[in-house]
A = this chain, B = another copy of it.
């Protein structure tokens, strides 16, 4: 068998952008720094060298207006891809996203679609602090007319990005900063993954673990720990938050009857609340056990001594699962990492 091609999530995005730009001349990449040496954490690197200047646009810090520009492009035949290096910056453009982009097709009576992608990067770690590490997926997922996509692996990153660009609707494409560094198998050729619902990451019959974005990575580790303990977890990746397709999850839960939902954002009024509710709506008769976790209910502080308690960890997830199974779960030494909690790996040293 051939060695599988392993690249980073950031490179997968970069490759996806390049391929779709090659294929579709209407695709335009725009946003702060898309043409700069950093290239939005490497995701837009060298596009400016490979494509004419009028397809890769650096933007002024005018987030509200340039979201409007992108809508104008989209409704007149282009396919713009915006990026924000932190989801927080997009809050300046909520009017354009929520009032305009999400409703344009509907309020034009189905005449004018808005094919655009808004890449929102979620920050974490290295003391980003309250204004650079929010998740906020639910703010977009609540809005009919928006699609909300959250890839968790390099494979998904490329395939779902390409599909998002092909999609005729405004797609909010969440990328977790810590995922950018992760590596995985990504086919060289252009491919796309349909935006039709959760992806089964790992099969198992004892418990269903539901998560998305970076938290999914933590959950995959958890599933390994469980495996060591003879608990077979089924891991479901809700990589499309809106429209939410719950079917595959139902099937899994029907089997396991035990669920843990690990939210990537704040727990209160979070993504987990909707999933939790849908499950109980669907399992009125069969009794299921369901637990929900998410970011602690406070702004995320800068200091590592506090932020380490903000996020669910493999340990806190295991603890919850111990409660579900009412038994002790043993965690092998190798899972106790020496990397501080504000770094995804040794090489991530900030500064941002």
Contact = CB atoms under 8 A, between A and B. Distances in A.
A199 B20 CA distance: 55
Interface stretch (A140-148, A165-173, A210-218, A250-258): A140-148
A43 to B, nearest CB: 23
Interface in A116-160: 129-131, 134, 136, 138-139, 141-145
Interface in A201-233: none
A145 B268 contact: no
A192 interface: no
A145 B280 contact: no
A242 B267 CA distance: 13
A334 to B, nearest CB: 33
A347 interface: no
A277 B281 contact: no
B103 A297 contact: no
Given A269-B273, A272-B277, A98 B91 contact: yes
Name which of A145, A242, A299 has the most chain B CB atoms within 10 A of its CB: A299
Given A64-B92, A98-B91, A103-B130, A138 B266 contact: no
A299 B268 contact: no
Given A131-B99, A299-B107, A269 B64 contact: no
A273 B138 CA distance: 12
Nearest to A88: B99
Contacts of A99: 88, 91, 130-131
Nearest to A270: B142
A102 interface: yes
A271 interface: yes
A297 B106 CA distance: 12
Interface in A234-249: 242, 244
Contacts of A145: 298-299
A95 interface: yes
A144 B269 contact: no
B280 A269 contact: no
Interface of A: 64, 88, 91-92, 94-95, 98-99, 102-103, 106-107, 129-131, 134, 136, 138-139, 141-145, 242, 244, 265-266, 268-274, 276-277, 280-281, 284, 289-290, 292, 297-299, 301
Given A138-B142, A272-B277, A273-B274, 9 more contacts: A102-B299, A136-B142, A139-B139, A139-B142, A141-B269, A144-B297, A144-B299, A269-B273, A277-B292
19 contacts: A64-B92, A98-B136, A99-B131, A103-B130, A106-B298, A138-B142, A139-B139, A142-B265, A142-B268, A142-B269, A144-B268, A144-B298, A268-B274, A273-B274, A273-B277, A276-B280, A277-B277, A280-B280, A281-B292
